[in-house]
Amino acid sequence: MSWCWFAALTRPLAREELVDASACVQATDQDGRPAGLLAAWPRGRRPLREAVRMDERLLDPGGPPAWVSLVLVPREVAPLFDDPAVSQAMRRVLAGPPFAAVSTLVRDAVHFAGAVTVGEGDQPGQLADDPFARLHPARILRVGPGLFGRLPPPAGPAIQRYSGKPWPAAGFDTG
Amino acid sequence: MADRFGPGGRFPDLELPDHSGNCRRLSELAAGDPLLLHFYRGFWCPKEQAFFRRLVQLQDEAEVAYTRFVSVSVDPPQVAAAFRAGLGARWTFLSDTDRQYQAELGLWETTDTVHRAYRPASFLLGPGLDVRQTWNGYWFWGRPTNEELRQSFRTVTMAIRPDWEVPAR
């Protein structure tokens, strides 16, 4: 199990910045207003300075439109990944009703950069209870098709990262 | 005890719905970690309730130890989900409502003609679903204590983690 790069972009982009992206979709907020782009790239060199690591199993080129809770913690206030509050959020994910998919986001070796939580169904209501939104305010977004798929709930009770991968990606391989 | 699946054997890669109804494979749930695979009679059994309370205590250690638990019964997913939530368990429960693997595993509790339940048994599996240790839980005292599980997880982890002895610089 491995990871990919992910970014939520609201700034104007140069065409070449997305040339290697494996997926790129428009996002809107709950009122239908444009909320930028969500994009993903294969693992390798960081494609953009905003990019963070995400469990690549969330990516699905055939995935339907989805409601997403996006928590992106600014670098200057990012807690350690080992912070008890981050651990407790992962425990709540394991214990609670399952979402369609969840991945934490990793910016560097030690800090929690946020999480992507994909909701079940066609309504965003379930995402109001995103456990990671207790760590930093979440943006509820509607994203177009071709980015997120379903990922079965993480196997428990493990909540630790493997070699710095974003949870729940597992395995100590370096891929 | 299911001798075919004793130490040295390889456990079948079960494919069953989890407590949320998602189809899961055992190898996917193990994901390369040591795995405690636990077959239980059902939510209604007081021995199972007592054993689960023990495992719920152990999960606070297992969650930081790159270790997985999976529990299997004939309870349907909704029942397993409710039981799991009531226990506060944070691992995956699998539902074999069709008794798909009961005969193959030799784990049909023939003395119970009402529930056609799984005979309680626990298996400690290595990353390739290789069986490292087994416990017959028909009688409650046959089940592993948390201390026995800690010792077994330590033995397996020592065997599978090449950096158990911290690499010298």
Distance CA A145, CA A143 (A): 7
Query: Mapping DSSP to helix (H, G, I), strand (E, B) and coil, where does residue B160 land?
Result: helix
Name every chain B residue with its beta carbon within 8 A of the beta carbon of A169: none
- In chain A, which residue's Cα lies nearest the Cα of B84? A95
Kindly give, in sequence order, each residue whose CB lies less than 8 Å from that of residue A135, ignoring residues fewer than 6 positions away: A71, A73, A79, A85, A86, A89, A112
Confidence at residue B2, expressed as pLDDT on a 0 to 100 scale: 47
Residue contact A170–B59, C-beta within 8 A: no
Residue closest to B64 by CA, chosen among A157, A90, A80: A157
Backbone torsions φ then ψ of B24, nearest 5 degrees: -130, 150
Q: Is A92 on the interface with B (CB under 8 A)?
A: no
- Encoded tokens for B160: 């599978």
- Confidence band, pLDDT 50/70/90 cuts, at residue B30: very high
Burial of A80 (0-12, 13-18, 19+ CB in 10 A): exposed
Residue A171 pLDDT class (50, 70, 90 cuts)? confident
Reduced to 3 states (helix: H, G, I; strand: E, B; else coil), residue B166 is coil
- Report the relative pairing of strands A23-28 and A66-72 from DSSP bridges: unpaired
Q: Does B149 touch chain A (CB under 8 A)?
A: no
Inter-residue contact B128 to B135 (CB < 8 Å): no
Question: Mind listing the pLDDT tens digit for each residue in A67-125?
Answer: 999 999 999 999 999 999 999 999 999 999 899 999 999 998 889 999 999 999 888 98
Note the pTM of the prediction, 2 decimals: 0.90
Sign of the dihedral through C-alpha A64, A69, A73, A78: negative
Pair of tokens at residue B65: 């130890």
Q: Is the pLDDT of residue A174 over 70?
A: no
Distance (Å) from the C-alpha of residue A86 to the closest C-alpha of chain B?
Answer: 13
B71 touches chain A (CB under 8 A): no
**Does B138 touch chain A if contact means CB atoms closer than 8 Å?**
no
Task: Using pLDDT thresholds of 50, 70 and 90, give the confidence band for residue B3.
Answer: low
> For B91, which of A1, A157, A171 is closest by C-beta distance?
A157
Which residue in chain A is spatially nearest to B58 when comparing CA positions? A157
